[in-house]
Structure 1
Amino acid sequence: MSRRVLVLAHTGREESLRAAWDACTQLHASGLIPVLQKSELADVERFFGALDNPIGILHEEVSLEDVELVMVLGGDGTILRAAELVRDVDVPLLGVNLGHVGFLAESERADLAQTVEWIASRDYSVEERMTIDVQVWVRGQKIWHTWALNEASIEKANRERMLEVVTEVDERPLTSFGCDGVVLATPTGSTAYAFSSGGPVVWPEVEALVIVPISAHALFAKPLVVSPRSKLAVEIMNRTDAQGVLWCDGRRSVDLPPGARVEVTRSTTPVRLARTHKTPFSARLVRKFELPIHGWRGPAPHSEDVNTGPTPIIRTFTPAPLPSPRDAGPGDQADPTKAK
């Protein structure tokens, strides 16, 4: 059976169109069948002409269930768009970074040919990233239900008005404060909006949820890391008529009137990311954020590998005890008649 790879690109940029053209050509050369969405195929052919080899068209000739993998050409935003596309099917995503940081991407544009080779030889692993389920309630009725890979961010709708919110963990109120917003993030999203708002970086294999206030006017409004089994909620208080807006992964939004309630729990459907490198997450942090590591000496050698010789015996000197009054001679005793 022919193996099909969906190529998804940010076709609004010429660099992405060129990368899509190159990817399709190299996939063909490796014996794979590239698949494009009809609109993206039209964009590529408008710039570079018709491709020399046949291309599968998604939803017309090929369904998502027939695709082995999605090769995403772009930044994190393009990968989030791809995650939406494959939400209901068990297809992994492999990102090739054409953006700035590209934290979700696995390789860079210069590694495109090597990436195609890894796909052709199935030399990649797949890891699951936790997602969140997001519900919005207004006056006791659910008005919105969606999901997110990175975060659900509650933000103020008007620049001049601050939001008054109260946070909740496991159906118990935690604290209320005025703020510009609150980010409810996954470990994957801890390096995105939550990170820029002052939240902690959480390793992807750590199962947790993160709460990060944005510009809060309160003493106890610090980032929190809670259990992935917890139920988080943020309520827009009725003290003012300030409006809010909820964004999920920066792609889907809904207005939040005063009194609205946002509930977040762990979703049962993860996003699957293909990995071709086995580098630790700490190395990814250093590379993506260009962190300074000059002067690093590395871990100390194991004790069994170092011959230190016998342990020296250190002898200590114990001073003689001071004489007690009972040991004093007759001439040393005090005259009781001189005592006052």
Structure 2
Amino acid sequence: MKIALHSRKLEKERSGFLMSAINEILNRKEFELMISDGLALYLENIEPELCNSVPVFNSTEQLRGVDFMISIGGDGTLLQALTYVQELEIPIVGVNAGRLGFLASIQRENFSNTLDALINGFFSIEERTMLTLVSDREDLFGGIKFGLNEFTILKRDTSSMIVVHTYLNGEYLNSYWADGLIVSTPSGSTGYSLSVGGPVVIPGSENFIISPVCPHNLNVRPLIISDKSVISFEIEGRSKNFLVSLDSRSEAVDASIELAVKKCPFKAKLVNVGGGEKFLDTLRKKLNWGLDNRNPMS
């Protein structure tokens, strides 16, 4: 079974787990391991011999034939892993060595059991909808124009608001006078969108959420739409440059750029095993939903 592993620099108390996880994979005869170039760069300083003995990948094409991608870190690390996987739809095993872990839901103490589950086929795969950016700039985001969580337009280098004229399937929706605008997937509804007052949407709901960032008009509220919609934008502002982001990747653009987002033709596939937390469990545990000493269920 061919395993690709991605991680990045972890806090000191978590880096020991990363090394033990790598050694456990290498010591199991069922696995053939390769590591990402980002992980190799980190390991060069602490385990240089390992980098010389394990194949390193730096492109999607090199991942053909891989059975699973293991991401060790937080949700941000898993989002990075997706930029390697892209349209190959390799199932991703998200091992949480971070904090919240909505996407990376498998706890460190369950890592060995997770490897057993992969070998024996005791797992399920959850498909998550992603969005893709359509633009007249082909080089934007290095050509990796998709995101699992959200697409965002933000003001830059000025205290002045921007105006984002927004259209659904070519029909005018609204002009948002705000610091920015977020289009989120259900997976991203617990991220940036939630922090600006957007709703939590259950994965698999086949929706996008449009959420303004600090809108000038207080009667403007987040809007849930079908993920079959194409959302296009025209941007105005005193500054001629703005920021656009896909998940944790951001770039500066000028107002002349053409931007639209729609449902991505491929999906993220997340592996669930017995030791992983389910989405609703994570909501209650990590967001303290229903936390009340008077409530025996909390």
Q: Which residue matches 2:77?
A: 78
Q: Which residue matches 2:268?
A: 271
**SS of residue matched to 1:87:** helix
- Is 1:247 aligned to residue 232 of structure 2? no
The Cα offsets for residues 257-301 of structure 1, whole Å up to 9 and x where unpaired, read as: 2x5442111111111111114765322211222334444477xxx
Answer yes or no: is the 8 Å Cα contact 1:7–1:34 preserved in 2: yes
Aligned-pair CA distance for 1:42: 5.9
Distance in 1 (CA, whole Å) between partners of 2:138 and 2:6 is: 33
Aligned-pair CA distance for 1:136: 3.2
Distance in 1 (CA, whole Å) between partners of 2:133 and 2:234 is: 13
Answer yes or no: is the 8 Å Cα contact 1:36–1:56 preserved in 2: yes
Aligned-pair CA distance for 1:67: 1.6
What is the percent sequence identity of the aligned residues? 25
Q: Which residue matches 1:329?
A: none
Give me the TM-score of the superposition, normalised by structure 1: 0.76
User: Structure 1 residues 40, 175: closer, same or farther in 2, change over 3 A?
Assistant: closer
Aligned-pair CA distance for 1:77: 1.1
- Is 1:69 aligned to residue 68 of structure 2? yes
- Identify unmatched segments of 5+ residues in structure 1: 299-340
Aligned AA (1:163)? I
- Identify unmatched segments of 5+ residues in structure 2: none
Aligned AA (1:57)? V
Distance in 1 (CA, whole Å) between partners of 2:37 and 2:150 is: 30
**SS of residue matched to 1:47:** coil
Aligned-pair CA distance for 1:229: 1.0
Q: 1:283 aligns with which of 281, 284, 288?
A: 281
Aligned-pair CA distance for 1:106: 2.1
Give me the TM-score of the superposition, normalised by structure 2: 0.86
Aligned AA (1:274)? V
Distance in 2 (CA, whole Å) between partners of 1:164 and 1:195 is: 21
Instruction: State how 1:32-43 maps to structure 2 within 5 Å.
Output: 32-37=31-36, 40-41=39-40, 43=42
Answer yes or no: is the 8 Å Cα contact 1:9–1:16 preserved in 2: no
Answer yes or no: is the 8 Å Cα contact 1:23–1:116 preserved in 2: no
The Cα offsets for residues 280-325 of structure 1, whole Å up to 9 and x where unpaired, read as: 5322211222334444477xxxxxxxxxxxxxxxxxxxxxxxxxxx
Q: Which residue matches 1:223?
A: 222
Distance in 2 (CA, whole Å) between partners of 1:115 and 1:11 is: 22
Aligned length: 290
Q: Which residue matches 2:205?
A: 206
Answer yes or no: is the 8 Å Cα contact 1:133–1:267 preserved in 2: yes
Q: Which residue matches 1:313?
A: none
User: Structure 1 residues 291, 23: closer, same or farther in 2, change over 3 A?
Assistant: same
Distance in 2 (CA, whole Å) between partners of 1:10 and 1:126 is: 24
Aligned-pair CA distance for 1:49: 6.2
Larger radius of gyration: 1
User: Structure 1 residues 49, 265: closer, same or farther in 2, change over 3 A?
Assistant: closer
Aligned AA (1:198)? G
Q: Which residue matches 2:99?
A: 100
User: Structure 1 residues 39, 133: closer, same or farther in 2, change over 3 A?
Assistant: closer
- Name which of structure 1's ranges 288-297 and 88-97 shifts more when overlaid on structure 2: 288-297
Distance in 1 (CA, whole Å) between partners of 2:49 and 2:164 is: 55
Instruction: State how 1:130-149 maps to structure 2 within 5 Å.
Output: 130-137=129-136, 144=140, 146-149=145-148
